[in-house]
Amino acid sequence: MGAKAKKAMAKKLKKTSSQFSASSNKKDAAADFLPLEGGPARKLPDREPLEDTASVLYIGRIPHGFYEKEMEGYFKQFGAIKRLRLARNKKTGKSKHYGFIEFESPKVAKIVAECMHNYLMFEHILQVYLIPPERVHPKLWKGVNRRYKPVDWVEIERKRHNKERTLEEHKKLVEQITKRDQKRRKRIEAAGIDYECPEIVGSSQPASKKIRFDDE
């Protein structure tokens, strides 16, 4: 093979290798990843970003006095509120210092979560988080429109104390009062206090209203 033929072959090989490297670089640039087991490069299909539909917020560390009416008046400045619920104790009705708010717009809910998280309110640092729709409990809003009515424990205790009792229940009540009075007398004597305690006069009628404490 002559010198001219060798030079032509080298030029042809160089041109072919440059074309191959250029085509492979284009494929690699267009491809997202190369399979580990070999083969041609692959490109993932383009996906549109998922729309943020979370509109429910968890609010923790709620201060005392910041209840449903106050929360609604404060958070409605961001946007329309769909539902609001403050967790309360079933027996006492006191706030458990956490609650949930649902806004009509997911964008408003996102803004509230960004603005109000770690916000200082009445010496309490609020904790505000978005709850994904799939994690919202189906019974979260059960009884949300039910108005809270405080329990009148004074009236309940009054009815319990003034209820009609049988003779046995009446005797047992008088015995309990007498035992407490004796313990009180012993504590007064042990303290060295010269005090004459009034006598307890119990009625034989089976009604708690007949029991009285005389000062004589």
The residues that bridge with 42 in the sheet, in sequence order, are 33
| pLDDT tens digits, one per residue of 177-203 | 999 999 999 999 999 998 888 887 764
Whether residue 99 contacts residue 78, with contact meaning beta carbons closer than 8 Å, is answered with: no
User: Apex CA 190: angle with CA 186 and CA 192, to 5°?
Assistant: 120
Count of residues making up the chain: 216
Closest CA to 106 of 165, 54, 181: 54
> Please, are residues 14 and 67 in contact by the beta-carbon 8 Å criterion?
no
**Angstrom distance (rounded) from CA 95 to CA 102:** 19
- Domain extents in the chain: 56-135, 161-213
What number of helices (H) and strands (E) belong to the chain? 5, 8
Tens digit of each residue's pLDDT (9 = 90 or more) over 63-99: 999 999 999 999 999 999 999 999 998 878 889 999 9
Domain 56-135 = CATH 3.30.70.330: yes
- Count of alpha carbons within 13 angstroms of residue 80, beta-carbon side: 3
Q: What is the percent of the chain where pLDDT is above 70? A: 71
The residue written with tokens 């956490």 in the block is 98
0.75 cut: is pTM over it?
A: no
pLDDT of residue 153: 82
Task: Show the tokens assigned to 190.
Answer: 């042990």
Give the E-state strand segments of the chain in sequence order. 56-60, 81-88, 95-103, 120-121, 124-125, 127-131, 200-201, 212-213
